[in-house]
Amino acid sequence: MLVGARRDVQNAARYRKWVAGRGPSGQRRRLSLCVHRRDIILGVLGGRSNEQWIAQYGSSHRHPVNRLCHTLGIPTILLSVPVFIASIFLHRLWLYGVALFVMGWLFQFIGHAFEGKPPEFLHDWRFLFVGVRWWWAKIQGKA
Exposure string of 50-80, with b = 16+ CB inside 10 Å and e = fewer, is eeebbeebbebbebeebbebbbbbbbbbebb
* Reported confidence tier of residue 142, pLDDT bands at 50, 70, 90: confident
pLDDT tens for 7-64 read 555 655 555 555 555 555 656 555 555 556 666 666 666 777 888 888 888 888 999 9
Q: Count Cβ atoms below 10 Å from residue 8 Cβ, excluding itself.
A: 18
Give the bridge partners for 22, in sequence order. 28
In whole angstroms, what is the distance from residue 64 CA to residue 46 CA? 29
- Between 110 and 45, name the one with better pLDDT: 110
Q: Give domain limits for the chain.
A: 2-45, 54-139
The tens digit of pLDDT for each residue in 11-26 reads 555 555 555 555 556 5
Rounded-to-integer distance, Cα 26 and Cα 102, Å: 58
What's the DSSP call for residue 88?
Answer: T
> Helices (H) and strands (E) in the chain — how many of each?
6, 0
Share of the chain above pLDDT 70, in %: 69
